[in-house]
Structure 1
Amino acid sequence: MNKKLKPFAALCAAILLSACATTAPTSMSQAPVAAYRDVIDLAGRLSVNYQKDGKPETLSGKFNWSQKGERIDVALASPLGQTLAKISVTPDSATLTQTDQAPRVAKDIDSLTAQTLGWSLPVSGLRDWLQGYATAPGGKRFAASPATNTVTTADGWRLTFVSWQDEAAAQPVPKRIDAERVATATSEPLAIRIVIDGQG
């Protein structure tokens, strides 16, 4: 071989060998989330960005979510674990109780939390979102997967299922969900980041 070509040939060989040695990245699961369950218990963290009196506000803390059929119980706590509010929702009513205050009852939990906490907790949506489901425009059922992780819901929430407990699982379970609602004539902009730490 020509002496001038030897270094070039060695370089090409090195490049080819390194390419062969590179491990192919693990592909994301194409499978949808696990089947929907009527009974779940979850614990996690959330952060909320909302508008109050025209000014941006931020809140962060922990939550516990217990769902048994049509009944939902939610406990909201500070980052240090101090209980801030307890919420109970049934098909007939919603009750919100804050420390040292009388319970407040309303027909609609979204408006009740907006009046009491300053931001609207979308409980009806979270029933689905926490398990990787949503209702898309037209009433179509959306089931998320690591490969198909974004949807705009029928009621205007933009959801992104950012990460998974194990995205290579046969039926992955959501780990982090980002939910964003743009401002409308009747509502302020709202962004909620949810991280699920454990499931029951």
Structure 2
Amino acid sequence: MNSLRFLLASAMAAVVLSGCVSQPTRAPAVPVDRAEAERQDRARDAITDWNVTGRIAVSNGSQGGSGRIDWQQTGERYTVALSAPVTRQSWRLIGDASSARLEGVSGGPREGSDAEGLLLETTGWNIPVQALSDWVRGVGAGDGYGPAHIVYGEGNRPVRLEQAGWAIDYEQWQDGAAEPAMPTRLIATRGTAKVRLIVDQWSLDGTR
């Protein structure tokens, strides 16, 4: 646990996430084509295999840090790696809907039945890993998280998603002819818990 906290605290000083102090995105007053928005939602929801590389900042009250992230998702199976280049330390979370393993923490790997509980017990942070795998694609999370309320804006894309007590603000999307366009800057908050993600690259493959 100490090594993980040291990793993230050290990375906070080493990794600059531009816009970290910006205010949450608000829905712009632009016309929205509901049918087109739902079509884009279905296209993003259909992507089951993907990889994201970028930067992440996490805070939960007095604890927090930032670093590089590499998230590989294949169906329900995920591998999330976080590293701090300056300290050359890293940890890795591996799991699926029923189990999780956290590596790189003091005392050896930790295992649990769900990633959220494992991270909360080990680090004191509330990070909704399972739901975030959907929210990072700009769609509501699946079973167990309740209904998702989505506000759409420019390009018929979500600017805000609220679900299970969390608010996810989408600050930026891919430019150009990417289809479907994917989020590149988002921030998820609930109470004092905050997760900010800046995506440097999306790699997409697979549908369901």
**TM-score, normalised by the number of residues in structure 2:** 0.67
Cα pair distance change 1:102/1:177, threshold 3 Å: same
| 158-167 or 80-89: bigger deviation | 80-89
Give the Cα separation in 2 of the matches to 1:143 and 1:135. Answer: 15
Alignment-derived partner of residue 140 in structure 2:
134
Alpha-carbon distance, 1:70 to partner: 1.4
Alignment-derived partner of residue 194 in structure 1:
197
Q: Is the 8 A contact 1:149 1:160 kept in 2?
A: yes
Instruction: Give the structure, 1 or 2, with the largest relative contact order (CA under 8 Å, sep 6 or more).
Output: 2
Alpha-carbon distance, 1:169 to partner: 5.5
Alpha-carbon distance, 1:103 to partner: 1.3
Q: Is the 8 A contact 2:57 2:195 kept in 1?
A: yes
Q: Is the 8 A contact 1:44 1:197 kept in 2?
A: yes
Alpha-carbon distance, 1:80 to partner: 3.6
Alpha-carbon distance, 1:118 to partner: 2.6
Query: Could you tell me which of 169, 179, 183 is aligned with 1:160?
Result: 169
Give the Cα separation in 2 of the matches to 1:95 and 1:125. Answer: 17
Q: Is the 8 A contact 1:43 1:196 kept in 2?
A: yes
Deviation track 1:35-66 (CA, whole Å, cap 9, x = no partner) reads: 33111011011111212xxxx23311111100
Give the Cα separation in 2 of the matches to 1:143 and 1:39. Answer: 26
| One-letter amino acid matched to 2:136 | L
CA-atom RMSD in angstroms:
2.9
Bigger Rg, which one: 1
Instruction: Detail structure 1 runs of 4+ shifted over 6 Å in the superposition.
Output: none
Identical counterparts, % of pairs: 28
Q: Is the 8 A contact 2:151 2:160 kept in 1?
A: no
Alignment-derived partner of residue 178 in structure 1:
187
Alignment-derived partner of residue 59 in structure 2:
49
Q: Secondary structure at the match of 1:112?
A: helix
Superposition pairs for residues 62-141 of structure 1, below 5 Å? 62-78=68-84, 80=86, 82-98=88-104, 101-135=107-141, 138-140=146-148
Alpha-carbon distance, 1:145 to partner: 5.8
Alignment-derived partner of residue 24 in structure 1:
none
Q: Is the 8 A contact 1:95 1:103 kept in 2?
A: yes
Q: Secondary structure at the match of 1:42?
A: strand
Gaps of 5+ in 2: 1-29, 204-208
Gaps of 5+ in 1: 1-26, 183-188
